[in-house]
Amino acid sequence: MQTSVENNRIKPTLLNRLNQKTAVIGVVGLGYVGLPLMLRYIEVGYRVVGFDVDADKVARLNAGESLIEHIPAQSIAQARKQGFIATTDFGRASEVDALVLCVPTPLNKYREPDLSFVIATIESLAPHLHAGQVVSLESTTYPGTTDEELRPRIEARGLTVGEHVFLVFSPEREDPGNPDFSTRTIPKVCGGCTPACLEVGLALYGQVIDRVIPVSSTRAAELTKLLENIHRAVNIGLVNEMKIVADRMGIDIFEVIEAAATKPFGFTPYYPGPGLGGHCIPIDPFYLTWKAREYGLHTRFIELAGEVNRAMPEYVLGKLMDGLNQQGKALKGSRILMLGIAYKKNVDDMRESPAVEIMELIQAKGASIAYSDPHVPMFPKMREHHFNLSSEPLTEENVRVFDAVVLATDHDRFDYDLLLSHAQLIIDTRGKFRDPSTKIIKA
pLDDT, one tens digit per residue, over 74-85 is 999 999 999 999
CB 269 within 8 A of CB 260: yes
Output the pLDDT for position 116: 96
The percent helix, strand, coil of the chain (3-state, each to 5) is 40, 15, 45
| pLDDT reading at 322 higher than 60 | yes
The torsion angles phi and psi of 218, rounded to 5 degrees, stand at -65, -35
Domain ranges for the chain, please list them.
4-221, 311-442
| pLDDT reading at 353 higher than 60 | yes
Conformational region of residue 137, where left means phi above 0, alpha means psi within -120 to 50, and beta covers everything else? beta
Output the pLDDT for position 49: 98
Q: Confidence class of residue 5 from pLDDT cuts 50, 70 and 90? A: low
* Pairing between β-strand 165-169 and β-strand 133-137 as defined by DSSP bridges: parallel
The torsion angles phi and psi of 29, rounded to 5 degrees, stand at 100, 105
CATH topology of domain 311-442: Rossmann fold (3.40.50)
Output the pLDDT for position 3: 58
CB 219 within 8 A of CB 31: no
Helix axes 73-81, 34-44, angle to 10 degrees: 50
The arithmetic mean of pLDDT across residues 196-204, rounded, is 98
Strand, helix or coil at 25? strand
The arithmetic mean of pLDDT across residues 97-122, rounded, is 93
Rg of the chain over Cα atoms, rounded to whole angstroms, equals 24
Output the pLDDT for position 113: 92
pLDDT, one tens digit per residue, over 368-427 is 999 999 999 999 988 777 899 999 999 999 999 999 999 999 999 999 999 999 999 999
The verdict on pTM exceeding 0.85 is yes
More confident residue, 231 or 3: 231
The arithmetic mean of pLDDT across residues 318-331, rounded, is 97
Output the pLDDT for position 274: 96
Handedness of CA 361, 116, 169, 291 (dihedral sign): positive
Burial class (CB in 10 A: 0-12, 13-18, 19+), 216: exposed
d(CA 433, CA 411) in angstroms, rounded, equals: 13
Q: What is the overall mean pLDDT for the chain?
A: 95
Output the pLDDT for position 177: 75
Q: What's the CATH class of domain 4-221?
A: alpha beta
d(CA 90, CA 26) in angstroms, rounded, equals: 10
| pLDDT reading at 157 higher than 60 | yes
Output the pLDDT for position 428: 98
The arithmetic mean of pLDDT across residues 346-373, rounded, is 96
The arithmetic mean of pLDDT across residues 171-180, rounded, is 85
Domains 4-221 and 311-442 share a fold: yes
pLDDT, one tens digit per residue, over 11-61 is 999 999 999 999 999 999 999 999 999 999 999 999 999 999 999 999 999
Output the pLDDT for position 168: 98
| pLDDT reading at 4 higher than 90 | no
Q: Confidence class of residue 2 from pLDDT cuts 50, 70 and 90? A: low
Active site residues: 280
d(CA 60, CA 88) in angstroms, rounded, equals: 12
| pLDDT reading at 1 higher than 60 | no
- Indicate the DSSP class of residue 404: E
| pLDDT reading at 159 higher than 90 | yes
Neighbouring CB atoms inside 10 A of 207's CB total 17
Query: pLDDT > 90: what percent of the chain?
Result: 89
- Indicate the DSSP class of residue 379: P
| C-alpha 124: how far from chain center | 24
Question: How many degrees, rounded to 5, is the angle at CA 211 between CA 209 and CA 215?
Answer: 110
| pLDDT reading at 331 higher than 60 | yes
